[in-house]
Amino acid sequence: MGRIVKHLGLVDYSPTWRAMQAFTDNRTADTPDELWCLEHPPVYTLGLAGKPEHLIMPSQIEVVKCDRGGQVTYHGPGQLVVYLLIDFKRMGIGVRELVRRIEQSVIDLLAELGIEANGDVNAPGVYVRGEKIASLGLRIKNGAVYHGLSLNVDMDLTPFSWINPCGYAGLKVTQIKDQGASLTVAETAERLLPHLERHLTVKKETA
């Protein structure tokens, strides 16, 4: 069963989140998985365990409390967001393995661009020399996954300095542009998708 990829452009956070919930609630065993590639206008999102004290500087940026895992993060134009609407049961792997595969997709893309990156078993996401370049937050409901990843491409990183990103005080963030690669968000999506497709396809064991 093939995955459907949708390029949604710049869309508001809350309606997109509600659409993910509706998609997940209405899907059946036969519903194809979908990957939504998009950007959001400036918004802070707090995960289920999100603590308001991690918003350390008041600003005009909207704050949305949502139902993904993780703490607070920032989304804004110039950041690629990929929402992964996946039937997790079909994959036959654990959550930690799913997270690792998503991270590895980003790491492989960055390697293509000459950027050395790594994951961290204690703090999901992808890092370049200790600076966070991609964040991850998932929700699993009825054996299906929604929410996904955000990858900083070419954006104003300033609003990250007004929070403790992902709940870590002093955590620095970076982006593809600052690591010497020049890509648009759309180009980044096109180059990331084959890696996601490869890592999210679980090969069946042959007897």
Is 68 annotated among the ligand-binding residues? yes
Pair 120, 127: CB distance under 8 Å: yes
Whether 166 is catalytic is yes
CA distance 151 to 205: 32
CA distance 57 to 96: 32
Spot the catalytic one: 133, 155, 166, 200: 166
Beta bridge partners of 140: 145
Is 75 annotated among the ligand-binding residues? yes
In order, the DSSP letters of 12-61 are -HHHHHHHHHHHHHH--TTPPPEEEEEE-SSEEEE-TT--GGGB-S--SS
Helix (H) or strand (E) holding 126: strand 126-128
Tokens 């759309």: give the residue.
186
Q: What is the dihedral of CA 175, 16, 186, 149, to 10 degrees?
A: 40
Is 167 annotated among the ligand-binding residues? no
Is 72 annotated among the ligand-binding residues? yes
Is 149 annotated among the ligand-binding residues? yes
Is 135 annotated among the ligand-binding residues? yes
Is 137 annotated among the ligand-binding residues? yes
Is 74 annotated among the ligand-binding residues? yes
Is 70 annotated among the ligand-binding residues? yes
The residues that are catalytic are 166
Q: Residues annotated as binding site?
A: 68-75, 135-137, 148-150
Q: Residues annotated as binding site for substrate?
A: 68-75, 135-137, 148-150
